[in-house]
Amino acid sequence: MIAITVLATSPAPAKDFQKGNLSGSWDTTLSWGAQFRLDDPDPAIIGLPEGGSAFSVNGDDGNLNYETGIISNVLKLTTELELGYKNVGTFVRFRGFYDEENEDGERARKPLTQDAKDRIGSRADILDAFVWGKFSLGGRPAEIRMGEQVLSWGESTFIQGGINTINPVDVSAIRVPGAELREALTPEGMVTFSLGTSENTSLELLYLYDWGRTKIDPPGSYWSSQDFAGNGGSHVFLGFGDFPDDGVFPFTDRPFLGVPRAESVFADDGGQYGAAFRVFIPSWNGTELGFYYLNFHSRLPTINGTTGTLAGALTASRMGNAGVAALTALAGGAGRDQAIAAGVLNGVLAGLTTLEAGVAAQAAVDTALAGGDPTAVLTGLGSDAFGATANYFLAYPE
């Protein structure tokens, strides 16, 4: 995929003021940006049912949703206010944007869910919001901060799994035209305490009372690489690309071969804390050594699942048998309706509902009469029946 970004930014000069012991600063940036797709989707990342060559339909909705042309048209406002009085103060940062293309535009394949629009269509967020106080402790400088804030430890910025994982990454936020690097990290509720223990050493303590997860691109959005894990994802589809994932199948009234999504298992807010000790060594060409300890809950999920039930397996087997009974009757000279009736009778006697038996029998007979492969259809129906009793979910380890 190829995309370009056009950007116009109008930063207002920061308004600094001071009156006695009260000081402050107000900084606002207004920007407009647009992104354009310049090339058609690569068939290698499009599922087989949609004319591509990929053996999966679980990662192509974003590509199929956006044709060549504009894919994002965003007006964004970022404003931040800092106030200080003597040795105490507060800092607040707000961001809001409206993307006309993603909020109101027509999508080529699947409409964006409301969850997806809440991520990439329009948003208004208070980001940083904390208070601070500076004081002396034992004759050494100290500072305490409390509230929603960003704290970076170590030197890594985006390498996952390192010490700089205190704040989760908001992936969809930095896709927005005009996004700034500081918008990549989501402020978290925490209390920090820092103390200059000597001229060349310092101690920093951290306690997080809030937990947040990394936010990925929602399914169906242009930059998404999967259709099931982000906000709005509801099913993961089986079948190696044999059937489409648009929920349309002539014999069922739900997403065919779709394993439903269960509720995510989130980590607790509490139980996250850490410490940092830094040593500055002037004689080593100004080298700083940092020693860190951090106990935190994962910001990235593991994808888990529960297998289908015994009832689902029995339904799958019985539907297959009902289809085979219908095909046997058809091969023996029975007409379409008679063959379907034979399959329904077999299925009902085995414990299926009339609807379940009828779906299997009709699918098998109509596929055979059309010159298709009834075995593949019956296999799909069996997998669908069993998969419908399974589920997948996201879990965040502690």
Q: Are residues 270 and 331 in the same domain?
A: no
The predicted-structure confidence for 343-365, as pLDDT tens digits, reads as follows 999 999 999 999 999 999 999 99
Query: 247-279 as b/e, with b when 16 or more CB fall inside 10 Å?
Result: eebebbeebbbbbbbeeeeebeeeebbbebebe
Using left for φ > 0, alpha for ψ between -120 and 50, and beta otherwise, residue 161 falls in left
Q: Are residues 116 and 184 in the same domain?
A: yes
- CA angle, residues 216, 221, 223, in degrees to nearest 5: 65
Q: Are residues 266 and 342 in the same domain?
A: no
- Residue pointed to by tokens 């019985």: 318
Say if 176 falls within a structural domain: yes
Predicted local confidence at residue 88, as pLDDT = 98
| Alpha helices for 283-391 (secondary structure H) | 310-331, 336-350, 354-369, 374-387
Say if 238 falls within a structural domain: no
Say if 246 falls within a structural domain: no
Q: Are residues 334 and 205 in the same domain?
A: no
Comparing CA positions, the residue from 42, 371, 58, 391 lying closest to residue 242 is 58
Predicted local confidence at residue 139, as pLDDT = 93
Query: 177-203 as b/e, with b when 16 or more CB fall inside 10 Å?
Result: bbbeeebbbbbbbbbbbbbbbeeeebb
Residue spans of the chain under pLDDT 70: 1-13, 157-160, 247-252
Long-range CB pairs of 7-15, under 8 A, 24+ apart, other chains included:
7/31, 7/32, 7/33, 7/34, 7/177, 7/178, 8/32, 8/33, 9/178
Which of 271, 300, 329 is the last residue before a domain boundary?
Answer: 300
CA distances from 80 to 13, 20, 23, 178, 346 (A): 12, 22, 14, 16, 70
User: Can you read off the two tokens belonging to residue 226?
Assistant: 């999967």
Predicted local confidence at residue 109, as pLDDT = 86
Torsion of CA 45, 385, 302, 263, to 10 degrees: 120
Q: Are residues 328 and 205 in the same domain?
A: no
The reported pTM is 0.84
Strand extents, DSSP E, the chain: 3-19, 22-37, 69-85, 88-99, 122-137, 140-149, 188-195, 201-208, 235-237, 258-260, 272-281, 287-295, 302-306, 391-395
Q: Are residues 217 and 266 in the same domain?
A: yes
Q: Are residues 123 and 185 in the same domain?
A: yes
Say if 239 falls within a structural domain: no
Q: Are residues 324 and 378 in the same domain?
A: yes
Which of 246, 279, 300 is the last residue before a domain boundary?
Answer: 300
Compute φ and ψ for 60, nearest 5 degrees: -120, 0
Say if 248 falls within a structural domain: no
Q: Are residues 276 and 312 in the same domain?
A: no
Q: Which residues contact 208 (CB under 8 A, 6 or more apart)?
A: 166, 188, 189, 190, 269, 270, 272, 273, 296
Q: Are residues 221 and 345 in the same domain?
A: no
- How many residues are given for the chain? 398
Say if 158 falls within a structural domain: yes
235/315 Cα distance (integer angstroms) = 20
Are 201 and 208 contacting, i.e. CB atoms less than 8 angstroms apart?
no
Which of 300, 329, 361 is the last residue before a domain boundary?
Answer: 300
91/128 Cα distance (integer angstroms) = 7
Q: Are residues 294 and 338 in the same domain?
A: no
Predicted local confidence at residue 49, as pLDDT = 87
Say if 159 falls within a structural domain: yes
**How many Cα atoms are found within 13 Å in the side-chain-facing hemisphere of 60?**
25
Predicted local confidence at residue 10, as pLDDT = 61
Q: Are residues 275 and 317 in the same domain?
A: no
Per the structure, the count of domains in the chain is 2
Say if 252 falls within a structural domain: no
Predicted local confidence at residue 180, as pLDDT = 84
Q: Which domain holds residue 26?
A: 3-230+262-300
292/154 Cα distance (integer angstroms) = 8
